Amino acid sequence: MKKYVNLNVLAEGQAEREFAQHTLGSYFEPLGILVDSRCVLTSRKKHKKGGLGNYLQAKNDLNRWISEEKERQPFFTTMFDLYALPNDFPKFKESLKITDPYKRVEFLENALFEDIGYHKFIPYIQLHEFEALLLANPEILLMEYINAKKQIEKLQEIVANYDNNPEKVNTGNTTAPSKRIIALIPEYEGNKVSVGSVLAGIEGIEVQKERCKHFADWINKIQNISEQSV
């Protein structure tokens, strides 16, 4: 009988939650890893979900979920964006001194792991934003925006300017991955969840793994947990 490992993903927003639940869930299930995902609950009174307005709320949600699962003790991970990461995040100010985005995000993930203190926790922060996974293969946007060929070619040019590495597309208010897409395809702003989360994984995640090194490292860490004792 096949032995399964459980993985719970705390996602920054609805698009990340959908991607984790369906795309990553489908990818990992044959490997014996069952995925469940939730959004950060930004307002418990209003039951509002999605968004990382402050770190304390995300920490409380994650610790609450870990406590709920204390008997089963599954693995946990996060799917947060580096873009607009709240400044109360662990060691956030110190991280600003690190100019290399890969070293910076690794520094922040280590700080998150230390702050949560759960032994089966695999912290993950997306470089620089969820839409980097779309920019790994901008042509898939044609499935939804059939008249946007020129705009998508422009997105391809943008990624090419970053050494064909969508994880390097930066974090400015007008230059973050989602802002790049919205500037060229304004309709995307209103359907990030329904379109972005689906298209990012519609052809699987092999292209994203090939072009997004930090994302690939995260996927590999998760794959390795199936070999660990629960």
Task: Report the relative pairing of strands 48-49 and 41-43 from DSSP bridges.
Answer: antiparallel
Contact status, residue 35 vs residue 21, Cβ threshold 8 Å = yes
How would you class 227 by CB atoms within 10 Å of its CB: exposed for 0-12, middle for 13-18, buried for 19 or more?
exposed
pLDDT, one tens digit per residue, over 53-91 is: 899 999 999 999 999 999 999 999 999 999 999 999 999
Q: Say whether the peptide bond before residue 128 is cis (omega within 30 degrees of 0).
A: yes
pLDDT at 12: 95
Chain centroid to Cα 69, Å, comes to: 22
pLDDT at 170: 84
Distance, CA of 181 to CA of 200 (rounded, Å): 13
pLDDT, one tens digit per residue, over 17-61 is: 999 999 999 999 999 999 999 999 864 433 445 568 899 999 999
pLDDT at 172: 78
Phi/psi at 165 (nearest 5 deg)?
-115, 100
pLDDT, one tens digit per residue, over 195-225 is: 999 999 999 999 999 999 999 999 999 999 9
pLDDT, one tens digit per residue, over 169-182 is: 986 788 999 999 99
For range 9-23, the mean pLDDT: 96
| 126: Cβ contacts below 8 Å, ≥ 6 apart | 16, 79, 80, 81, 82, 132, 133, 214, 215
pLDDT, one tens digit per residue, over 95-152 is: 999 999 999 999 999 999 999 999 999 999 999 999 999 999 999 999 999 999 999 9
pLDDT at 229: 44
Is residue 3's pLDDT more than 90? no
- Provide the residue ranges of all domains of the chain, joining segments of one domain with +: 5-127+213-227, 132-199
pLDDT at 228: 60
pLDDT at 34: 97
pLDDT at 80: 97
Considering the four listed CATH numbers 2.60.120, 2.60.40, 3.40.50, 1.10.20, the one that applies to the domain covering 5-127+213-227 is 3.40.50
Contact status, residue 4 vs residue 32, Cβ threshold 8 Å = yes
Is residue 230's pLDDT more than 60? no
